[in-house]
């Protein structure tokens, strides 16, 4: 079976180090009532039933747990099972981008992906390099990381100005690890951003997105969404408030992220957590989270100062929700014979219904 049920294990895959649950006056409060979430039947709802396609199923295009998705005009790339798969918007399999291996155009380990224009960047942490591919899967350049990068390594990057903002790699309990840093266009370390520190290496989600001239950053086990401006100043921009479903982090009752996960395992239906897929637009802030072993989507209307929350059902099983550019949502479900089906819906249609 390709797809696994979303559960507390999924929380681990989305967890990012560092937690702070105490709202500050500078942050805009986004109140989310999970109990009032609206259910949408993907196969029957007028907004989604005619906007679906099935992903072509071959030995090289099987979808497992989705780690990241990058959309381009003609196709999208899925990071899953340690490989990169291309599909067009009819579901046709368009090939893989490279493969695991020791050759110059291959990666030893697939750590993270991002893009600039139509160029896909593939970060191979183990191989100490970043590979650049065009949409025909041809390698066009390789950035070899300098030996000095080992002292300030990154988990993932997001393009910003002429370089990148990166989340750093946890160095262990006996060495201070700063959370964020700025890297130049050759992925070389330049400076620390902010004063936050990592306290755990438990980090597998992508905690970055771009809005206007800023980068948004979030800790998936926390409630804050931060903004990083062009001067590399970090501010608390939004606070996602789940009310009685907030994880009780503000009193520093937990030793580290592992103890938080142990606590969540004992009360699987009590809390909402694991922020992911945060996107900001001029009118809306969109994000996903986990609660009751399901993944939810919330849309915050800036003008109305209120949020609507949704979860999706299907004849089979919804396995993931992804926010993508142009105010679109992609919902993946497992279909017959393990074929993945993709539904798309516009944010405006959901919020204005």
* Per-residue pLDDT reduced to its tens digit, 158-213: 999 999 999 999 988 788 889 999 999 999 999 999 999 988 887 768 999 999 99
pLDDT digits (tens, 9 = 90+) for 296-321: 999 999 999 999 999 998 877 788 99
Total domains, the chain: 1
Structural domain includes residue 97: yes
User: Measured at the alpha carbon of residue 112, what is the angle toward residues 212 and 201, in degrees to the nearest 5?
Assistant: 100
Running DSSP on this structure, what letter comes out for residue 11? H
Name the percent of the chain lying above pLDDT 70: 90
Q: Which residues contact residue 52 at a Cβ distance below 8 angstroms, ignoring those fewer than 6 apart?
A: 42, 43, 341, 342, 343, 344
Q: What is the CATH number of the domain that holds 233?
A: 2.120.10.30
pLDDT of 335 reads 62
Structural domain includes residue 218: yes
pLDDT of 4 reads 41
Structural domain includes residue 3: no
Structural domain includes residue 1: no
pLDDT digits (tens, 9 = 90+) for 195-206: 999 888 877 689
Question: How would residue 336 be classed by pLDDT, with cut points 50, 70 and 90?
Answer: low
Structural domain includes residue 336: yes
User: Residue 231: how many CB atoms within 10 A of its CB?
Assistant: 5
Whether the pLDDT of residue 110 is over 70: the answer is yes
Structural domain includes residue 300: yes
Q: Which residues contact residue 272 at a Cβ distance below 8 angstroms, ignoring those fewer than 6 apart?
A: 32, 34, 242, 245, 246, 289, 290, 291, 296
Structural domain includes residue 202: yes
The C-alpha atoms of residue 162 and residue 181 are separated, in whole angstroms, by: 14
Task: Identify which has the larger pLDDT, 336 or 119.
Answer: 119
Least reliable range by pLDDT among 15-29, 75-89, 94-108, 123-137: 15-29
Structural domain for 92, as ranges: 8-352
pLDDT of 191 reads 96
Helix (H, G, I), strand (E, B) or coil at 149: helix
pTM given for the model: 0.89
pLDDT digits (tens, 9 = 90+) for 17-72: 344 454 445 899 999 999 999 999 998 999 998 899 999 999 899 888 899 999 99
Nearest to 343 by CA among 146, 55, 25: 55
Structural domain includes residue 2: no
Any alpha helices (H) in 168-251, and if so which ranges? none
């Amino acid at each position: 079976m390709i797809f696994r049920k979303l559960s507390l294990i999924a929380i681990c895959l989305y967890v990012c180090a560092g937690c702070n649950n105490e709202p500050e006056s500078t942050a805009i409060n986004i109140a989310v009532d999970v109990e009032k979430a609206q259910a949408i039947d993907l196969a029957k709802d007028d907004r989604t039933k005619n906007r679906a396609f099935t992903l072509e199923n071959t030995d090289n295009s099987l979808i497992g747990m989705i780690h990241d998705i990058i959309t381009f005009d003609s196709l999208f790339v899925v990071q899953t099972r340690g490989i990169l798969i291309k599909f067009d918007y009819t579901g046709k399999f368009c090939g893989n981008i490279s493969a695991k291996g020791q050759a110059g155009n291959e990666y030893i380990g697939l750590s993270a992906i991002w893009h600039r224009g139509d160029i896909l960047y593939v970060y191979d942490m183990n191989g100490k390099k970043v590979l650049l591919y065009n949409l025909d899967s041809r390698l066009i350049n390789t950035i070899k990381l300098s030996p000095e990068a080992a002292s300030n390594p990154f988990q993932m990057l997001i393009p910003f100005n002429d370089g990148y903002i990166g989340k750093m790699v946890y160095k262990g309990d006996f060495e201070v690890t700063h959370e964020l840093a700025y890297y130049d266009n050759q992925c070389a370390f330049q400076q620390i951003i902010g004063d936050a520190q990592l306290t755990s290496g438990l980090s597998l989600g992508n905690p970055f997105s771009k809005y206007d001239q800023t980068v948004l950053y979030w800790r998936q086990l926390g409630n804050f969404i931060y903004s990083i401006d062009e001067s590399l100043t970090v501010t608390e921009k939004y606070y996602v408030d789940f009310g009685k479903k907030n994880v009780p982090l503000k009193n520093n009752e937990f030793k580290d992220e592992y103890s938080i996960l142990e606590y969540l395992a004992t009360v699987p239906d009590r809390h909402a957590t694991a922020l992911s897929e945060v996107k900001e637009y001029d009118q809306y802030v969109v994000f996903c989270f986990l609660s009751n072993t399901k993944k939810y989507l919330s849309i915050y209307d800036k003008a109305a100062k209120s949020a609507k929350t949704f979860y999706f059902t299907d004849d089979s099983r919804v396995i993931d929700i992804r926010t993508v550019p142009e105010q679109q949502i992609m919902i993946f479900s497992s279909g017959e014979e393990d074929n993945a089906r993709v539904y798309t819906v516009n944010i405006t249609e959901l919020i204005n219904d």
